[in-house]
Homo-oligomer: A and B are copies of this chain.
């Protein structure tokens, strides 16, 4: 078997022991609290990893693009899929109906009537049915109806359209008291209106270990936990030891005593920063700071490091945001105890539509 040290760089590695432990830990927590686990596959985009999540007890998977649903349907690893994106336009709704025939359940979310009408028309065209959740903006400021009343209104409107089946409510992320209040109020309104709400779907990796504080949740969607990254560590939800994805890179230049340049830039690590500083955490040099990235260069400030790497040394970078790294590369390497155990094509990489 090939040694990890023999992988040419940059190479995206996944430490299998760590990943398997992440799967067990997260699934165990949600199971203990009776919350169904519906992992989001956008993080890894690899059917074999989705299969491991299903085997651990996941109820189904979450996708963000129809292209992801199609790739995972081809792999037949789960027959219950939730697509958490407003699906709009004839080309996409036709694809949605086509792939839904290959699954036991393909549910979608929406937050407006235009999307609802398009889905209904597609379901009529294809003689199918579309189960749906109402997406609620409970404070994140992205998609979603703005009030519990609007959630009920949209559900009622959509329930009058042919071949749409109301299944519940969805939000992201569920961390703040405002989310709990929004969902409680909405459930009260639906109850008063005599509408059953079988599913309440929450999401987000930093929210996993507090999901039980939202007693209305029937399921939880999280993606990043499979690998973890600098952002998850910064949120307090994981430690460096829980970070399964490590980008192996090589020091290609040491222009000054305090500067190293590695062969990984935005075209591998991406420029995602969100709330963290720097562009990745170097396992071997924890005091190093990746201060800047060009497309193919990473600039590392070694000022705070007592030990410093030399030209040709390999380093292991925990990226800021693993979900976008997966989408940059054609394959990742599953490694264990220093050897490459498996090479996985990132089958759903680049499914922009």
Q: Which A residues lie at the B interface, using CB under 8 A?
A: 8-11, 42, 64-65, 85-86, 88-89, 91-92, 111-112, 114-115, 137, 141-146, 250, 252-256, 259, 261, 263-264, 266-268, 270-273, 292, 294-297, 299, 310-312, 323-324, 327-330, 350, 352-353
| A326 to chain B: closest residue by CB | B267
- Taking CB atoms, residues of chain B closer than 8 Å to A299 are 141-142
* 24 A-B pairs whose Cβ atoms sit less than 8 Å apart in the complex: A8-B89, A8-B91, A9-B89, A64-B295, A64-B296, A86-B261, A86-B263, A88-B250, A88-B252, A88-B263, A111-B255, A112-B253, A112-B311, A137-B255, A146-B255, A146-B256, A264-B352, A266-B324, A270-B270, A271-B271, A271-B273, A271-B324, A295-B324, A295-B327
Q: Given B88, B295, B311, B353, which contacts A88 in the complex, CB threshold below 8 Å?
A: B311
- Taking CB atoms, residues of chain B closer than 8 Å to A114 are 310-312
| A88 to chain B: closest residue by CB | B252
CA distance A137 to B255 in the complex (A): 8
- Taking CB atoms, residues of chain B closer than 8 Å to A64 are 295-296
CA distance A81 to B89 in the complex (A): 44
A353 to chain B, nearest CB (A): 5
- Contact at A350–B330, with CB atoms within 8 Å? yes
- Contact at B255–A296, with CB atoms within 8 Å? no
Q: Known contacts A271-B272, A311-B115: does B252 contact A294 (CB below 8 Å)? A: no
- Contact at A143–B42, with CB atoms within 8 Å? no
A32 to chain B, nearest CB (A): 29
CA distance A11 to B89 in the complex (A): 14
CA distance A294 to B92 in the complex (A): 20
| A327 to chain B: closest residue by CB | B267
- Contact at A85–B252, with CB atoms within 8 Å? yes
- Contact at A295–B323, with CB atoms within 8 Å? yes
Q: Known contacts A328-B327, A352-B10: does B270 contact A115 (CB below 8 Å)? A: no
Q: Given B268, B296, B324, which contacts A85 in the complex, CB threshold below 8 Å?
A: B296
A196 to chain B, nearest CB (A): 26
- Contact at A350–B328, with CB atoms within 8 Å? yes
Q: Given B92, B146, B256, B267, which contacts A324 in the complex, CB threshold below 8 Å?
A: B267
CA distance A180 to B215 in the complex (A): 66
- Minimum-distance CB pairs A-B, first 3: A86-B252, A114-B311, A8-B91
A120 to chain B, nearest CB (A): 15
CA distance A89 to B267 in the complex (A): 20
- Taking CB atoms, residues of chain B closer than 8 Å to A327 are 267, 295, 328
| A92 to chain B: closest residue by CB | B8
- Taking CB atoms, residues of chain B closer than 8 Å to A324 are 266-267, 271, 295
- Taking CB atoms, residues of chain B closer than 8 Å to A8 are 89, 91-92, 353
- Taking CB atoms, residues of chain B closer than 8 Å to A92 are 8
- Taking CB atoms, residues of chain B closer than 8 Å to A9 are 89, 353
